Amino acid sequence: MTQADWNAELYADKHDFVWKYGSGVLDLLEPQNGESILDLGCGTGELSAKIASSGAKVTGLDASSAMIERAQAQFPALEWPHLEWRIQSATEMTFEAEFDAIFSNAALHWIPSPEKVVFNMARALKLGGRLVLEMGGKGNVAGVVKPLEAVLADEGFALQNPWYFPSVAQYASLLEECGLQVRLAQLFERPTPLKGGTGGMQHWLEMFSIPLLKNVPLERQKELLARVEQEARAQLWDGEKWVADYVRLRIVTVKV
């Protein structure tokens, strides 16, 4: 997670699926005792702690101070000596050959200027170090994005799409340009049930669509989001729950 103004409480209460689904990509990391590992966009730190349980020394980095505060509270330094936290954007980090591995789950699609981020990740890895990541890929949550775009356009508001959902080819070529050899690249659908019953879509929109609504006056936001929900219903409401149409891009690379 990398927005500066996250609501860490709402995230922990209704959106813990973000890190729970991250367990799949974590299996690809295979952290080893004594390794130095960067968890990029660590959010509230649950996956950083899982990695640290292997005996690796983990730096959890996130641009959101609210997320890092929650991570520190959940995993206090006295009990978790292998964990350290840093508030910083991936575009600003200046690590050089410090990490055996970089891990990132559900974060990189939030960061504009992917070229800069990939460059910084490549620089941060030791030679032979690995980058294991999962993020939103091409077509991710289109069932929400399209209604959002349509409703905002209809009301005459300029859209500020904050997300970067690349294809395999787009992201693989960025990685290769920075000396990261792609060993695995997958794009797959991961339909994701939202918590909160009938309110699930509104909770999701309240948490994640804030950056899109920058140009919309506060008093109009609720009404517009209700319209977005209505337009998304035919595709994403299954009669019992909301199921968001997540598409994941999963990548493993090695620095050569």
CA 232 – CA 226 distance, rounded (Å): 10
Stretch that binds ligand BEZ, among 120-128, 133-141, 152-160, 181-189 (CB under 6 A): 133-141
Three-class SS of residue 225?
Answer: helix
Residues contacting residue 241 through CB under 8 Å, at least 6 positions apart: 193, 194, 197, 200
| CA angle 211–95–93, rounded 5-degree value | 20
Whether 200 contacts 237, CB under 8 Å = no
CA 7 – CA 76 distance, rounded (Å): 21
- Residue of this chain nearest to ligand BEZ (CB atom): 136
Residue from 117, 141, 180, 236 in contact with ligand BEZ (CB under 6 A): 141
The CA–CA distances, whole Å, from 101 to 25, 69, 82, 91, 171 equal: 13, 24, 15, 18, 18
> Least CB distance from residue 135 to ligand BEZ, whole Å?
7
Three-class SS of residue 182?
Answer: strand
Cβ nearer to ligand BEZ, comparing 44 with 140:
140
What is the pattern of x (binds ligand BEZ, CB under 6 A) and - over residues 73-112? ---------------------------------x--x---
> Least CB distance from residue 201 to ligand BEZ, whole Å?
12
Whether 63 contacts 162, CB under 8 Å = no
Instruction: Report the amino acid identity of residue 252.
Output: V
Cβ nearer to ligand BEZ, comparing 108 with 131:
108
208 binds ligand BEZ (CB under 6 A): yes
> Least CB distance from residue 23 to ligand BEZ, whole Å?
15
H-helix segments, 43-137? 46-52, 65-74, 114-124
What is the pattern of x (binds ligand BEZ, CB under 6 A) and - over residues 22-61? ----------------------------------------
> Least CB distance from residue 163 to ligand BEZ, whole Å?
5
**Binding residues with ligand BEZ: total (CB under 6 A):** 8
Q: Which parts of 143-172 interact with ligand BEZ (CB under 6 A)?
A: 163
Chain residues that interact with ligand BEZ, rule: CB under 6 A = 106, 109, 136, 140-141, 163, 208, 246
